[in-house]
Amino acid sequence: MSSTEPVMVWWRRKHKSYYDYLLSTVGCGKSRKYYCCCNTCERERYTDLGLLSKFGTEIEVLRYFLCRVNHCYNQVPFHIFEHAFCVTQMMYGMVWRCGLQERLGDLDVLILLTSCICHDLDHPGFNNIYQINAKTEFALQYNDISPLENHHCSVAFTVLEQHECNIFRNVSAEDYRKIREGMICCILATDMARHNEILSDFKEIIEEFDFKNRAHVNLGVGSGFITQSAARFMIWRIHSKLPQIFIA
């Protein structure tokens, strides 16, 4: 990318869009369209970033995991598998564009990608305010505290508990603990009610941001996650300091 090329122009030149992937003729299971997304995640993200070999994940396990995740997304407005796909694609672009694999390490990149794929699992189509006001099962279960995000996270780890879907089954206990902690942190950060709090905390440390400081990285990752899940591309431009931090 040249220094004068707008990020989005570079992005579109380097990466295919979701609809490009629909041209694939591979088909199976739920629908051809859905399978292609799984296939794309598998090939373009985990494999491309070398995560399978680094964490001993078998390709078949990844395939089962992605298909299972796929089936756990409901046909509701917006929070469908295609949305998770787009968020993951954006993260994948950020990882490459901002050199996050070198700056954060493989484990954090694995956490980020997997959190993106799982962040809206089994979304019922109604927001947290509705859940709380209607005293739904989710609100009662999680005491009105980010009921949806807690549910998405819980479903993610329920899927991962299935041996044939557990893409982390060959990592050490210590790495698994970090993965679980990281994914919970990322997915809970997608609660819109927490956006202002996380972003204002992040703004306070922007000037002295340090990739070696775990608290800084967590805030940066949380803000980055918000950046994508809130409005994907547009917020990228609005919070102009965020990419500068990562690119600097």
Radius of gyration of the chain (CA): 18
Nearer to Zn ion, 108 or 120 (CB): 120
Q: Map the footprint of Zn ion across residues 38-77, applying CB under 5 A.
A: none
Q: Which stretch binds Zn ion (CB under 5 A): 7-15, 129-137, 175-183, 224-232?
A: 224-232
Determine the angle formed by the axes of helices 173-188 and 147-161, rounding to 10 degrees. Answer: 150
Q: Which stretch binds Zn ion (CB under 5 A): 57-65, 161-169, 201-209, 221-229?
A: 221-229
User: What is the Cα–Cα distance from 12 to 5, expressed in whole angstroms?
Assistant: 11
Binding flag, residue 89, Zn ion (CB under 5 A): no
Whole-number minimum distance, CB 248 to Zn ion, in Å?
28
Catalytic residue among 71, 79, 152, 216: 79
**Side chain identity at 205, as an amino acid letter?**
I
**122 belongs to the binding site for Zn ion (CB under 5 A):** no
At residue 95, the 3 state secondary structure works out as helix
Which one among 108, 120, 122, 191 touches Zn ion, defined by CB under 5 A? Answer: 120
Q: Copy the structure tokens of residue 216.
A: 């800084």
Site for Zn ion contains 229 (CB under 5 A): yes
Query: CB of 3: closest distance to Zn ion in angstroms?
Result: 32
Task: Tell me, yes or no, if 119 is annotated catalytic.
Answer: no
* DSSP conformation letters of 107-132: HHHHHHHHHHHHTTTT--SS-HHHHH
Cβ(165)–Cβ(68) below 8 Å: yes
Contact (Cβ atoms closer than 8 angstroms) between residue 41 and residue 66: yes
Least Cβ distance, residue 162 to Zn ion (angstroms):
23
| CB of 167 vs Zn ion, minimal distance in Å | 21
Taking the C-alpha atoms of residue 221 and residue 27, their distance in angstroms, rounded to an integer, is 35
Pick the closer one to Zn ion by CB: 57 or 70.
70
Binding site for Zn ion (CB under 5 A): 120, 229
**Residues annotated as catalytic (active site), given as ranges:** 79
